[in-house]
């Protein structure tokens, strides 16, 4: 055996043992004739001492090592003197007095130091040398947690009688709202596979195949525009179940989340996780992914100000709008500049302006608008918003959608400004009953989730009259203002599925071409079914406190969707292009050698 222990293993109880360790030289220090090497591997770090009195040959070799050399040492475990014990290191009670050393491989000088300081190194450099970046203990811990979470999820789902099934990567386009990655076919000139944006249709087909409960840690591919923190390929915990209600799925996923939290070393959240409807989320938080780590929820004051003395509010309500406010607690002293910025933001959002009240320390209200308020209005305001000295009250009055959008954004900004959002808290919520459709800018209906989503049974009569009012049996799970995942109950009636594609404006020929297989399959006894997918990358990112999904993916692409380490995408030779019947119109950029 090359090694008897890992670099994270030795404790005081091992003192006196002869051991062999392998690893990377983290640091080499010369201290009054003794050489100290901190030896590192995935499991930890161990201090090794070379004394010329023990072995001059070993000392000579140790002295010639450099950071990132790969070495093997043999020696005896000794207790560190009491004043040298390092409580921050798991192996900090011991050190190894080395008798032998072998250099297994040398290393060039790394382009950046492999410690936490590397977080300040340009990300492109880290990604070009990702194998070095991943040697850092921080990155190793993140990938270890990712593994632990994935493993816990697998075990949990297995215990719930889910079976893991792999679905194809070379497939046909499925609508999830992004552009497809296409792969040309060599054997069918002019035809293309699409990489899956999600295994959506396959998992539904597996329910039709009687598999009852499916899951997959599934790679998905979406060629999206460069929005913040997206990756062209990412991983979903994808699941589907037969004979199931939305509540059943939510309860099951509650347990999955608790298992993932435990695997990442966090206390279990109280179950069931909170649930709120989409309408409530929009109305109270102005967002379908509310951050519930803090309060400052919107209060509807329309009933208070209806027909009141402050005309701006009264008129907005008369026109069918609403008056809402948030209590930005503790921000009464916010600088003018800040309030001006927020007012500009409100105007950008289509509002006439932003009304506010600063509640002074003595309780007096400082605001140009309070003189228009009656005593009854003031009392109602104080109660509804729980107003106290030091608070800043922000009002918006307009159509509900605008008010929600603006106050929703201001709530997040105010929460941050007041330091009211605890960074280490985990606030989950389900958001249920999403609308089935949204309107595109051209006024067409499009699915808010995907076109396989079933409507709420009570709303089916509205499909032909006011489709935008139809609620879907769709739900999202949200953590700290981030959508972790979502899913729905699916349509299992072939005629209804056909009708829904029609409502989305698809002509019959296109329905047959794109979804004929699915509609046919629904016709052979499809069970009622539903499911959901959770973004594994995002979940792990939040669980380890990283700020980007790139930090929890071993080999991510840059924000420009390239792999800097492998140099992909790259040009291919003409022969390969001929084989797949492709002629390019754009020349590939010259290689940066
Ligand atoms: N396929 C959906 C998605 O990727 C999830 C689902 O409906 O199960 O968002």
Q: Distance between CA 400 and CA 319 in Å, rounded? A: 11
How confident is the model over 134-189, as pLDDT tens digits? 999 999 999 999 999 999 999 999 999 999 999 999 999 888 888 999 999 999 99
Three-class SS of 241-283 = EECCCHHHHHHHHHHHHHHHHHHCCCCCCCCCCCEEEHHHHHH
CA of 61 to the centre of ligand 1 (A): 57
Kindly tell me the sign of the dihedral angle through the C-alpha atoms of 504, 506, 507, 511. Answer: negative
Task: Assess contact for 288 and 476: CB atoms under 8 A.
Answer: yes
CA of 46 to the centre of ligand 1 (A): 46
* pLDDT on residue 270: 97
Q: Which two tokens mark 38?
A: 């901190």
CA of 347 to the centre of ligand 1 (A): 35
Q: Whose CA is nearest to atom 8 of ligand 1?
A: 532
Three-class SS of 110-172 = CCCCCCHHHHHCCHHHHHHCHHHHCCCHHHHHHHHHHHHHHHHHHHHHHHCCCEECCCCCCEC
Task: Assess contact for 132 and 110: CB atoms under 8 A.
Answer: yes
Does ligand 1 lie within 6 Å of residue 533's CB atom? Answer: yes
CA of 173 to the centre of ligand 1 (A): 14
* pLDDT on residue 476: 98
Give me the residue label for tokens 């109305």. Answer: 283
* pLDDT on residue 592: 53
CA of 158 to the centre of ligand 1 (A): 20
* pLDDT on residue 591: 60
Q: Ligand 1: which of 177, 237, 238 to mutate, judged by most atoms within 8 Å of the beta carbon?
A: 238
Contacts of 319 (CB under 8 A, 6+ apart): none
Q: Whose CA is nearest to atom 3 of ligand 1?
A: 533
Does ligand 1 lie within 6 Å of residue 483's CB atom? Answer: no
How does 407-437 read in b/e, with b if 16+ C-beta sit within 10 Å? bbbbbbebbebbebbeeeebbbbbbbbbbbb
Q: Distance between CA 320 and CA 300 in Å, rounded? A: 13
How many residues make up the chain in this entry?
A: 593
Does ligand 1 lie within 6 Å of residue 487's CB atom? Answer: yes
Q: Whose CA is nearest to atom 1 of ligand 1?
A: 200
Q: Ligand 1: which of 431, 530, 532 to mutate, judged by most atoms within 8 Å of the beta carbon?
A: 532
Task: Assess contact for 552 and 146: CB atoms under 8 A.
Answer: yes
Does ligand 1 lie within 6 Å of residue 453's CB atom? Answer: no
- Closest ligand 1 atom to Cα of 532: 8
Q: Ligand 1: which of 177, 449, 451, 483 to mutate, judged by most atoms within 8 Å of the beta carbon?
A: 449
Mean pLDDT by 10 residues, the chain (593 residues): 96 98 97 95 97 96 97 98 95 98 98 84 95 95 98 98 98 88 96 96 98 98 84 97 98 98 97 98 98 98 95 96 97 95 97 95 94 95 97 97 97 97 96 96 93 97 96 98 97 98 95 96 98 98 96 95 94 94 85 54
Q: Whose CA is nearest to atom 4 of ligand 1?
A: 198
Torsions phi, psi for 576 (to 5 deg): -60, -40
Q: Distance between CA 378 and CA 310 in Å, rounded? A: 12
How confident is the model over 204-257, as pLDDT tens digits? 999 999 999 999 999 999 998 777 789 999 999 999 999 999 999 999 999 999
CA of 486 to the centre of ligand 1 (A): 6
Q: Ligand 1: which of 177, 490, 531, 536 to mutate, judged by most atoms within 8 Å of the beta carbon?
A: 531
CA of 167 to the centre of ligand 1 (A): 14
CA of 192 to the centre of ligand 1 (A): 23
Does ligand 1 lie within 6 Å of residue 535's CB atom? Answer: no
Torsions phi, psi for 154 (to 5 deg): -60, -45
Q: Distance between CA 263 and CA 421 in Å, rounded? A: 24
Task: Assess contact for 395 and 354: CB atoms under 8 A.
Answer: yes
* pLDDT on residue 225: 79
Q: Whose CA is nearest to atom 7 of ligand 1?
A: 487
Q: Ligand 1: which of 167, 173, 176, 534 to mutate, judged by most atoms within 8 Å of the beta carbon?
A: 176
* pLDDT on residue 374: 95
């Amino acid at each position: 055996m090359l090694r008897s222990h890992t670099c994270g293993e030795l404790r005081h109880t091992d003192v006196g043992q002869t051991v062999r360790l392998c690893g990377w030289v983290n640091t080499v220090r010369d201290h009054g004739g003794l050489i100290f090497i901190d030896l590192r591997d995935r499991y930890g770090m161990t201090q090794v001492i070379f004394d010329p009195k023990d072995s001059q040959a070993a000392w000579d070799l140790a002295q010639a090592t450099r950071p990132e050399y790969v070495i093997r040492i043999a020696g005896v475990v000794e207790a560190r003197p009491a004043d040298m014990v390092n409580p921050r290191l798991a192996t900090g009670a011991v050190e190894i007095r080395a008798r032998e050393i072998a250099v297994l491989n040398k290393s060039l000088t790394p382009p950046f130091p492999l410690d936490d300081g590397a977080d300040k190194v340009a990300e492109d450099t880290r990604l070009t040398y990702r194998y070095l970046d991943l040697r850092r203990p921080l990155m190793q811990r993140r990938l270890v947690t990712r593994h632990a979470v994935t493993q816990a999820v697998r075990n949990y789902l297995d215990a719930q009688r889910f079976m893991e099934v792999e679905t194809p990567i070379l497939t046909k386009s499925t609508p999830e709202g992004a552009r497809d990655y296409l792969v040309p076919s060599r054997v069918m000139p002019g035809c293309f596979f699409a990489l899956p944006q999600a295994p959506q249709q396959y998992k539904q087909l597996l329910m039709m195949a009687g598999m009852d409960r499916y899951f997959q840690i599934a790679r998905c591919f979406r060629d999206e525009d460069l929005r913040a923190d997206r990756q062209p390929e990412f991983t979903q915990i994808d699941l589907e179940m037969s004979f199931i209600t939305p509540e059943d799925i939510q309860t099951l996923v509650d347990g999955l989340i608790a298992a993932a939290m435990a695997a990442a070393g966090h206390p279990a959240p109280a179950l069931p996780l909170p649930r709120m409807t989409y309408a409530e989320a929009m109305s109270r938080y102005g967002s379908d992914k509310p951050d519930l780590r803090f309060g400052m929820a919107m209060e509807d004051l329309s009933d208070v100000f209806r027909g009141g003395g402050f005309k701006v509010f009264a008129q907005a309500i008369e026109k069918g709008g609403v008056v809402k406010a948030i209590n930005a607690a503790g921000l009464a002293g916010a600088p003018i500049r800040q309030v001006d910025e927020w007012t500009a933001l409100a105007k950008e959002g289509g509002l006439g302006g932003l009304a506010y009240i600063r509640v002074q320390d003595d309780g007096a209200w400082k605001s140009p608008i309070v003189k228009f308020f009656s005593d009854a209005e003031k009392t109602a305001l104080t109660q509804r918003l729980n107003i106290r000295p030091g608070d800043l009250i922000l009002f918006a009055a307009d159509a509900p959608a605008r008010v929600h959008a603006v106050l929703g954004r201001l709530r997040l900004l105010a929460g941050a400004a007041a330091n009211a959002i605890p960074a280490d808290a985990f606030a989950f919520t389900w958001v249920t009953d999403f609308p089935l459709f949204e309107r595109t800018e051209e006024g067409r209906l499009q699915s808010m989730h995907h076109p396989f989503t079933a409507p709420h049974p009570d709303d089916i009569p509205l499909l032909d009259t006011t489709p935008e009012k139809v609620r879907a049996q769709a739900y999202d799970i949200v953590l700290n203002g981030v959508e972790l995942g979502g899913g729905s109950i699916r349509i299992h009636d072939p005629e209804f599925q056909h009708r829904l594609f029609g409502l989305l404006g698809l002509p019959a020929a296109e329905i047959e071409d794109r979804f004929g297989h699915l509609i046919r399959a629904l016709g052979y006894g499809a069970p009622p079914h539903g499911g959901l997918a959770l973004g594994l990358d995002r979940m792990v990112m939040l669980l380890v406190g990283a700020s980007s999904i790139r930090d929890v993916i071993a080999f991510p692409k840059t924000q420009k969707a390239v792999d800097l380490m492998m140099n992909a995408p790259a040009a291919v030779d003409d022969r390969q292009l001929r084989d797949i019947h492709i002629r390019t119109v754009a020349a590939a950029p010259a290689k940066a050698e």
